[in-house]
């Protein structure tokens, strides 16, 4: 399975950010519910991350969908931490999740919830299931339980503990809670049907013993509720109307409904229940999405932390220079579907270009500098030049820089033996320095190894930009040594060499791209001296760049290239 065999998403709605979202099967359900008055016209969604990792671009899709639908329908979206597993969860993850949801442009204000806040209720409901004969304490070993669970083709077998009395179950469950039993000694299971064709209904476990402190409830509990049981009840307690989740939960939906229907039946919860609706996960080419793998890449140092700019975590994308608007645009274009979705990394970059073209300030930066000496321009003088901050918005004013005797141009803008159709600088040829003069290459200087180390040129004083003089075919960017600033610039490539690192013969790490980071010393025009970390710039002809929020220091900015200007990426 590769991204290239998958349907492309249309990019032609560029910039059309105010258009009402296209209809989809989830909207159709909501529209029908609103028409029938099922939830009294309310729309309450939730985004339910487990605080066991950093959010990635796949989560962004879910966030944009849940918060976006709530916004469109005049409803609300809850941020709920599904913090039922004390072993893997951490406050660091929680903080980063809140930060990234807000960064994406969504607010949860007073709508911040924690599954752990429902632990008392969840426990009381579990007792209620026991009292109704719908749950029992199982004391089989993990191995016995696995064997007795059956397979996709064979039914499971009832546990020998399945018919324990209500009183015994209540006593054991209480002992579990009081810490009298070791991890794994007992679990609490719903009594549904060990022969069900749906394995999720074969007496699913709903409580297990874990003698571990929880980052929010401390040492209060040593029994913790399982995800499936917790999730549906949390949704119902918050009066969620539409509970959107990814497709792998489709087979869990009967359990979701089973639990809630019984609690409504006995008046523990009000009707109607939330409706679970599944949609396809987002997969992005050249990435892996599994949290376990992301954690491994971080812990083993294949990337430089969760916010490495090559990473598709939201923290990484932000640091790289992706804007919240570009990610929302990308998520909107990706749409929602029931079919597995592979989206090309190029689509994410296109969304950024489409967002930034109209807004990013322009600047010139030379990433691979070669020195040009203008021999007929006197030393110690300069010629003031300027260019618009944005070519289509005069109101944003001009940026100033100085043409002088020594300037830098891009090494690739010079060719000693030019190929046909090369209109930039060549020996004896002319080129325009953007926003300045036409120069002519008179001769070049090489080092012992034959590399060009300097170009000697003359300029034509009658050709200053904007004065109506003659023109030539090529125009290149430049920075003058007199007022330019030097800075480290980081250029990124895909972290993996293949579209689907999970699909290969070997381990996904075998496909890491060893050349995913290139660091260069660039010359930048002076307006970039005051760049702020959250600003995006278009470096003319070179792409979109942002000052790195982690590495930049006052007077020593480090820039990241978020993307090139064109979609020219090819696997190396």
One of 26, 30, 61, 228 touching ligand ATP (CB under 6 A): 61
Q: Which region among 58-66, 311-319, 348-356, 368-376 touches ligand ATP (by CB under 6 A)?
A: 58-66
The yes or no reply on residue 281 touching ligand ATP (CB under 6 A) is yes
Pick 240 or 363: Cβ nearer ligand ATP: 240
Distances (CA, A) of 256 to 2, 87, 236, 450: 33, 24, 10, 72
Give the number of residues in contact with ligand ATP, rule: CB under 6 A.
Answer: 14
The yes or no reply on residue 389 touching ligand ATP (CB under 6 A) is no
For the CA atoms of 322, 324, 329, 335, the dihedral, rounded to the nearest 10 degrees, stands at: 110
Tell me which DSSP letter residue 462 carries. G
The yes or no reply on residue 21 touching ligand ATP (CB under 6 A) is no
291 is catalytic: yes
The yes or no reply on residue 282 touching ligand ATP (CB under 6 A) is yes
- The sign one gets for the Cα dihedral 465, 468, 470, 473 is positive
Pick 156 or 316: Cβ nearer ligand ATP: 316
Which of 379, 356, 319, 370 shows the shortest CA–CA distance to 539?
A: 356
Which of 296, 345, 285 shows the shortest CA–CA distance to 562?
A: 345
What distance in Å separates the CA atoms of residue 125 and residue 119, rounded to the nearest whole number?
Answer: 10
The answer to whether 504 and 511 have CB atoms below 8 angstroms apart is yes
Q: Which region among 49-57, 187-195, 303-311, 543-551 touches ligand ATP (by CB under 6 A)?
A: 49-57
What distance in Å separates the CA atoms of residue 246 and residue 152, rounded to the nearest whole number?
Answer: 21
Within 10 Å of residue 473's Cβ, how many Cβ atoms?
12
Distances (CA, A) of 459 to 140, 258, 379, 475: 88, 81, 14, 14
Query: Which ranges in 445-504 belong to alpha helices (H)?
Result: none
| Nearest distance from C-beta of residue 258 to ligand ATP, angstroms | 20
The active-site residue out of 50, 99, 175, 383 is 50
Pick 58 or 335: Cβ nearer ligand ATP: 58
Pick 61 or 310: Cβ nearer ligand ATP: 61
One of 30, 44, 49, 309 touching ligand ATP (CB under 6 A): 49
Query: Which ranges in 48-182 belong to alpha helices (H)?
Result: 57-72, 91-103, 119-131, 142-148, 166-177
The yes or no reply on residue 46 touching ligand ATP (CB under 6 A) is no
The active-site residue out of 291, 371, 434, 481 is 291
One of 268, 291, 390, 509 touching ligand ATP (CB under 6 A): 291
Which phi and psi angles does 546 have, rounded to 5°? -145, 145
Pick 89 or 349: Cβ nearer ligand ATP: 89
What distance in Å separates the CA atoms of residue 125 and residue 230, rounded to the nearest whole number?
Answer: 10
What distance in Å separates the CA atoms of residue 323 and residue 534, rounded to the nearest whole number?
Answer: 9
Chain positions 228 to 267 lying near ligand ATP, rule: CB under 6 A, are 245-246
Find the residue with minimal CB distance to ligand ATP.
Answer: 58
| Nearest distance from C-beta of residue 251 to ligand ATP, angstroms | 14
Q: Are strands 223-225 and 242-246 parallel, antiparallel or unpaired?
A: unpaired
Residues 6 or more apart in contact with residue 407 via CB below 8 angstroms? 371, 372, 374, 433, 478, 479, 480, 481
The yes or no reply on residue 318 touching ligand ATP (CB under 6 A) is no
| Nearest distance from C-beta of residue 442 to ligand ATP, angstroms | 57
Pick 334 or 531: Cβ nearer ligand ATP: 334
The yes or no reply on residue 104 touching ligand ATP (CB under 6 A) is no
Residue 167: exposed, middle, or buried by beta-carbon count in 10 A (0-12, 13-18, 19+)? exposed
Cis peptide leading into residue 480 (ω within 30°): no
Residue 458: exposed, middle, or buried by beta-carbon count in 10 A (0-12, 13-18, 19+)? middle
Q: Which region among 59-67, 298-306, 362-370, 372-380 touches ligand ATP (by CB under 6 A)?
A: 59-67
Radius of gyration over alpha carbons of the chain, in Å? 30
Pick 49 or 75: Cβ nearer ligand ATP: 49
| Nearest distance from C-beta of residue 35 to ligand ATP, angstroms | 26
Helix (H) / strand (E) containing 207: strand 205-209
The yes or no reply on residue 293 touching ligand ATP (CB under 6 A) is no
The yes or no reply on residue 296 touching ligand ATP (CB under 6 A) is no
One of 44, 45, 59, 539 touching ligand ATP (CB under 6 A): 59
The yes or no reply on residue 50 touching ligand ATP (CB under 6 A) is yes
191 is catalytic: no
Q: Pattern 192-231, binding to ligand ATP, x per CB under 6 A?
A: ----------------------------------------
One of 45, 62, 85, 287 touching ligand ATP (CB under 6 A): 62
Which of 100, 472, 463 shows the shortest CA–CA distance to 306?
A: 100
The active-site residue out of 281, 293, 371, 396 is 281
8 is catalytic: no
| Nearest distance from C-beta of residue 60 to ligand ATP, angstroms | 8
The yes or no reply on residue 84 touching ligand ATP (CB under 6 A) is no
Can you say how many angstroms the Cα of residue 495 is from the centroid of all Cα atoms in its chain? 14
Q: Which region among 53-61, 105-113, 402-410, 493-501 touches ligand ATP (by CB under 6 A)?
A: 53-61
One of 39, 43, 48, 557 touching ligand ATP (CB under 6 A): 48
Pick 165 or 337: Cβ nearer ligand ATP: 337
Q: Which region among 10-18, 54-62, 112-120, 453-461 touches ligand ATP (by CB under 6 A)?
A: 54-62
**What is the full DSSP assignment across 289-343?**
--HHHHHHHHHTTSSSSTT-TTS-BHHHHHHHT--HHHHHHHHHHH---SS-EEE
Catalytic residues, which ones? 50, 281, 291
The residues of the shown chain that bind ligand ATP, judged by CB under 6 A, are 48-50, 52, 58-59, 61-62, 245-246, 281-282, 289, 291
């Amino acid at each position: 399975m590769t991204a290239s065999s998958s349907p492309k998403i249309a990019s032609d709605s560029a910039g059309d950010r105010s258009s009402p979202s296209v209809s989809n099967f989830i909207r159709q359900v909501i529209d029908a519910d609103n028409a029938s008055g099922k939830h009294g016209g309310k729309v309450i969604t939730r985004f339910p991350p487990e605080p066991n990792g950093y959010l990635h671009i796949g989560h962004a899709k879910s966030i944009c969908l849940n918060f976006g639908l709530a916004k469109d329908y005049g409803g609300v979206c809850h941020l709920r931490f599904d913090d039922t597993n004390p072993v893997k969860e951490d406050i660091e993850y929680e903080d980063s999740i809140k930060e990234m949801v807000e960064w994406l442009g969504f607010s949860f204000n007073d709508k911040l919830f924690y599954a752990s806040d429902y632990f008392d209720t969840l426990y009381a409901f579990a007792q209620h299931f026991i009292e109704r004969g719908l749950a029992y304490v199982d004391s089989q070993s993990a191995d016995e339980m696995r064997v007795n669970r059956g397979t996709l083709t064979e039914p499971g077998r009832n546990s020998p503990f399945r018919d324990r009395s209500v009183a015994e179950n209540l006593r054991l469950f209480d002992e579990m809670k009081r810490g009298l039993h070791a991890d794994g000694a007992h679990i609490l299971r719903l009594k549904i049907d060990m022969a069900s064709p749906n394995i999720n209904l074969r007496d699913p476990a709903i409580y297990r013993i874990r003698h571990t402190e929880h980052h929010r409830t401390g040492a209060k509990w040593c029994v913790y509720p399982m995800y499936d049981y917790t999730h549906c009840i949390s949704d119902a307690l918050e009066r969620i109307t539409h509970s959107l989740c990814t497709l792998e939960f489709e087979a869990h939906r009967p359990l979701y409904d089973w639990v809630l229907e019984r609690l409504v039946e006995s008046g523990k919860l009000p009707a109607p229940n939330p409706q679970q609706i599944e949609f396809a996960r987002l997969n992005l080419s050249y990435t892996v999405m599994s949290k376990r793998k992301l954690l491994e890449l971080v812990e083993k140092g294949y990337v430089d932390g969760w916010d490495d700019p090559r990473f598709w975590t939201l923290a990484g994308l932000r640091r790289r220079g992706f804007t919240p608007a570009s990610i929302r645009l990308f998520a909107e274009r990706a749409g929602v579907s029931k079919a597995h979705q592979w989206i090309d990394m190029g689509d994410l970059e296109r969304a950024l270009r489409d967002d930034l073209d109209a807004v990013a300030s322009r600047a010139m930066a030379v990433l691979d500098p070669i020195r040009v000496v203008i021999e007929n321009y006197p030393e110690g003088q300069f010629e003031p030049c300027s260019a618009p901050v944005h070519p289509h918005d005069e109101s944003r004013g001009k940026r100033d820089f100085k043409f002088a005797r020594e300037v830098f141009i891009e090494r690739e803008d010079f060719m000693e033996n030019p190929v046909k159709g090369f209109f930039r600088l060549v020996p004896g040829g002319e080129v325009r320095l953007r926003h300045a003069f036409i120069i002519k290459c008179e001769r070049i200087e090489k080092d012992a190894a034959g590399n060009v180390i300097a170009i000697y040129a003359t300029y034509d004083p009658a050709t200053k930009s904007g004065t109506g003089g003659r023109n030539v075919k090529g125009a290149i960017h430049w920075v003058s040594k007199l007022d330019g600033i030097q800075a480290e610039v980081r250029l990124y490539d895909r972290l993996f060499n293949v579209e689907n690192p999970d699909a290969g013969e070997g381990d996904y790490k075998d496909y890491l791209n060893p050349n995913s980071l290139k660091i260069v010393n660039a010359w930048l025009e002076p307006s970039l001296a005051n760049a702020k970390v959250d600003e995006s710039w278009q470096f003319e002809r070179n792409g979109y760049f942002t000052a790195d929020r982690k590495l930049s220091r006052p007077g020593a900015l480090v820039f990241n290239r978020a993307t090139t200007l064109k979609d020219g990426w090819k696997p190396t």
